[in-house]
Amino acid sequence: MNSSAYYVAKHYGIRIGDVWSMSLHEFEESLAFASAADKIKGEEIEAATKDSKGKVGVAGTDAGQPMPFSD
């Protein structure tokens, strides 16, 4: 329960004392929302990372081309 309280406090930017003063219903909803928000954020980051892979080339990595400045 302590780690869940810390997680909620960190997510909302509130003091741990404020979390302890929440009703059980408020705490459960806050924990569920924070967890869902972090999951969605992680999925968005993963999708953005996947989309960017393969689009950025590094000079000199194409075996069919000469290395830059190798003239």
How many CB atoms lie under 10 A from the CB of residue 30? 20
DSSP 4-53: HHHHHHHHHT--HHHHHTS-HHHHHHHHHHHHHHHHHHHHHHHHHHHHHT
For residue 47, what pLDDT is reported? Answer: 86
Rounded to two decimals, the pTM is 0.64
Per-residue pLDDT of the chain (71 residues; tens, 9 = 90+): 789 999 999 999 999 999 999 999 999 999 999 999 999 999 998 888 887 766 655 555 666 666 667 66
CA dist 62 to 54, 59, 70, Å?
13, 8, 14
pLDDT of the residue at 58: 58
Tokens representing 58? Answer: 């590094």
